Structure 1
């Protein structure tokens, strides 16, 4: 009965010590979250649609780019997802983090190994209780045995290490999603930039044709002696200037196409995008509730998981101040002759470490453990500040996107009016020039104003498309893209 009570007492003591974890419990620090976005001006219907989507960081983002209704962009995004090298780097890092988590989890289980081989040894006479002149020669001892070792997690060191490795793996998963979202946005923005340049190339093509016809008119009037050579020289200069600017647009487009090829995992020689002028992008992208941004943004999720890992490593550093208990044992066979090794009489076992002690208690290490704990706490404080800064940046990016789309929409309407007025002024100046009431300098000035206003209009169209992509990226990716696409048709 006494022996049974002793066993129960030992078991209860082991369970009590195993529950004495010293690591701090993790609680996500608060971050400033406003009640609404300052720049959001959504209709009640748009707000309801967004709430119905129930976004969360763990959910798949989907093919959010389909809201632009660009089949070529859809194909480019698919190519990038399968061939981009930066995405493959992020995927490999995620696999590394998950492997490290499995490595940490292995410490929760005992290790078992086996060995076979001879050992040449000679024990001292005193250790065997023999006289000094005894015949004590060296002998060869054969062993075939299995060994087991298990560290009892008395103060939660292993559990904290596993918690940190798990948070690291989750951080890597969030970073992978962040890289993936950034790649999708980069491809979309590069695509719309090329389409804007295509539109500018088309604009300059028409401008060169128009100025070519104007030059023919001026040349005819010069040949008839109606105007001086000055007007002819000005007309030729305007045509050459438009041709030169067209070549500059062509160079810029080539560079943009090369950059897009790299995003797709191809060399520039392997990729060509057929020209197609950019159409006006008109999609409504709801920003949702500010609190949902903390759930959707993968970079915020990564920063939060970094905090959790740092908090767990504070527990690892604290556990270093407490004793560690390692249970070891070996069992098998040993014999001075190989032929007798597997006989029943050759069996042997050992409980306890071959070297050292079962229970170790740190006493003095020159301040190493204190420094380790201070480092862990400082790292946690660093990650808390980085998390809060990431949240602030996320809200700034959403507000930037909302204000950009709202203001660009109004600016585009004003710019369209400017294009119409400039075109009308150019028509009137050309008519008056033919009638001889104005000089050719007035015609050139009106023509330049048309080109300037048209380029500004195309630039705004490109900015609206890229701002829409930037806002999708800022809110953490897509939502119910199919329903949004149907609403925009």
Structure 2
């Protein structure tokens, strides 16, 4: 019992540490690799949720079409008050004047159970196949949406990574230039350099800070875009785990070959194939309208005619009720055959339209193949060009770093000018900016090449 307060304090400390660690983790942001970011987007992007809901709607439509061929059963009860009964003029034999009489009772009732079963309908059979094909089209539309989301997330992810690397380099440049400014200020106080040298460095440092602030804002905008593409709340912090790996990118060579490419690897081609199947089924469905339609029907019910509602409500339907019986059963079974003979050439015009629609789909294949061939060749050239530019910009950046380093050493040793250092630092920043622009272009070119070959999102 004496240990209870101590145990309570330990439990409280454990809960506090857990809460603090959770809060700290939330503040740092949720970490994502590129693959995790894509997976998250595939599950949480609103546009994909809409497409998946549409898939379920299309599945339900298949069930709706299938239900037409299942038995249709209905039940109903009708009770009518003939407050103005129908009358007829009747000429009875042996009478000179016709008599006006009514055969209707004030109250009538009818209870009916009816059913029907479709035995044959060519349009229904084709409709079943078309409904199933339509669900395939819905799935492929969702897949196309997933590929587009993966592309958008990948490009946004890379843009944030590149912006982060640019900020790191700018921070290094700021630190280096700030140190040089302090050293130059001391040299100016001691009379070794002019105040103009200090002012030049201050101007260069201010410009560098402006570039750093601009890069920071661009990174924040990139993160907001990435969170939007992922379906992540804007108030949620995010942390990117992957690092830019130029070695893997540089070793990647164009692999697309338009001459031997399998067009079926592209989801757009697969969607067009499904649309062609639907066009063919639509044509068959129209032609099936020339076939007869056979329906089996049946009904069983009771009817009654009474002078008052109380007599009608007092149901006596058994056969042994004799003359007191007031509800009488009846039943009917029928076979309905509908044979189309002439519809004003409506189906003939529909067939003409379906043939032209099918021709348009075939032309769509030709256009899509030409477009894919162009994309493959363009992606090959773009990847080659961006990799070549990236290599050149990396060499330029390395040379600019060496020039800036030597310029600083010469200036510190008194054999170089302040203007030479500032010029070298400016050229270095330009080379670094050009390098990361080329790196981003190469990454985007690789993403576009994967999209062109259908390898961007392979499940």
Q: TM-score, normalised by structure 2?
A: 0.76
C-alpha distance 226-299 of structure 1, shift in aligned 2 (>3 A): same
1:264 corresponding residue in structure 2: 230
Please give the secondary structure, in 2, of the residue aligned with 1:310. Answer: helix
Secondary structure in 1 aligned to 2:238?
coil
Specify which structure has the higher proportion of strand: 2
Q: Return the match for 2:400 from 396, 410, 422.
A: 422
Indicate which of 209, 214, 226 corresponds to 2:180: 214
Structure 1: gaps (5+ residues): 1-69, 482-489
Shift of 1:272: 2.4
Q: 1:473 — aligned with what?
A: 451
Higher RCO (CA-CA < 8 Å; seq separation 6+): 1
Cα offsets for 1:109-155 (capped at 9, x unmatched): 443333333467889869x99986475422424232222142622xx
State whether residues 256 and 377 of structure 2, in contact with CA within 8 Å, keep that contact through their aligned partners in structure 1.
no
Map 1:125-144 onto structure 2 (within 5 A): 133=99, 135-139=101-105, 140-144=108-112
Give the corresponding residue for 2:221.
255
Equivalent pair of 1:164/1:310 in contact (CA under 8 Å): no
Match of 2:330 in 1: 347
How many corresponding residue pairs?
A: 403
Aligned pair partner of 1:171 in 137, 149, 171: 137
Q: In the aligned structure 1, how far is the partner of 2:58 from the partner of 2:458?
A: 31
CA contact (8 A) 2:58 2:138 kept: yes
SS of equivalent to 1:336? strand
- 1:301-326 deviation line (CA, Å, top 9, x unaligned): 11221122122222333444x25424
> 2:390 aligned with 1:409, yes or no?
no
Query: Cα deviations across residues 365-397 of structure 1 (Å, max 9, x unaligned)?
Result: 4x6545544443343333333343333333333
Whole-angstrom CA distance in 2 between matches of 1:272 and 1:71: 7
Matched position secondary structure for 1:270: coil
Tell me by how many angstroms 1:336 deviates: 1.5
**Greater displacement, 230-239 / 216-225:** 216-225
Match of 2:278 among 306, 309, 312: 309
Contact 1:335 1:341 in 2 (8 A): no
Question: Whole-Å Cα distance in 2 between the matches of residues 276 and 148 of structure 1?
Answer: 64
Against the structure 1 CA distance between its residues 422 and 177, is the aligned structure 2 distance closer, same or farther, given a 3 Å change threshold? Answer: same
The C-alpha deviation readout for 1:251-308, integer Å capped at 9, x for no partner, is 1111111112122322210232268763325154854886664222222211221122
Are 1:453 and 2:434 matched, yes or no?
A: no
1:394 aligns with 2:376: no
Quote the residue 1:28 is aligned against.
none
Q: Give the TM-score normalised by structure 1.
A: 0.72
Displacement of 1:204 in angstroms is 0.5
SS in 1 for 2:118: strand
- Aligned with 1:346: secondary structure? strand
Q: Give the alignment of 1:151-190 within 5 angstroms.
A: 152-153=120-121, 156-190=122-156
Q: Distance in 1 between matches of 2:318 and 2:152?
A: 68
1:207 Cα deviation after fit = 0.9
- Contact preservation (8 Å) 1:200, 1:458: yes
C-alpha spacing 1:271/1:398, structure 2 compared with 1 (3 Å):
farther
RMSD: 3.4
1:294 aligns with one of 258, 263, 267: 263
The separation in 2 between residues aligned to 1:470 and 1:120, in whole angstroms, is 76
Contact in 1 for aligned 2:151/2:456 (Cα 8 Å):
no
Could you tell me how far 1:419 is from its partner in structure 2? Answer: 1.8
Change (3 A) 1:387 1:340: farther
Inter-partner Cα distance in structure 2 for 1:303 and 1:412: 38
Contact 2:32 2:239 in 1 (8 A): no
Q: CA deviation at 1:196?
A: 0.8
Evaluate the alpha carbon distance shift between residue 129 and residue 427 of structure 1 in structure 2; reply closer, same or farther with a 3 A threshold.
farther
Rg comparison, structure with higher value:
2
Change (3 A) 1:80 1:114: same
**Unaligned 5+ runs, structure 2:** 1-30, 306-311, 321-327
In the alignment, does 2:77 pair up with 1:116?
Answer: yes
Instruction: Return the match for 2:165 from 199, 217, 222.
Output: 199
Partner secondary structure for residue 439 of structure 2? helix
More deviation, 282-291/470-479: 282-291
Q: How far, CA to CA, are the matches of 1:377 and 1:133 in structure 2?
A: 66
Write out aligned runs for 1:35-46 (5 A): none
| Alignment match of 2:37 (pick from 47, 55, 76) | 76
- What CA distance in whole angstroms lies between the structure 2 residues aligned with 1:183 and 1:417? 35
For residues 297 and 265 of structure 2, the distance between their equivalents in structure 1, rounded to whole angstroms, comes to: 50
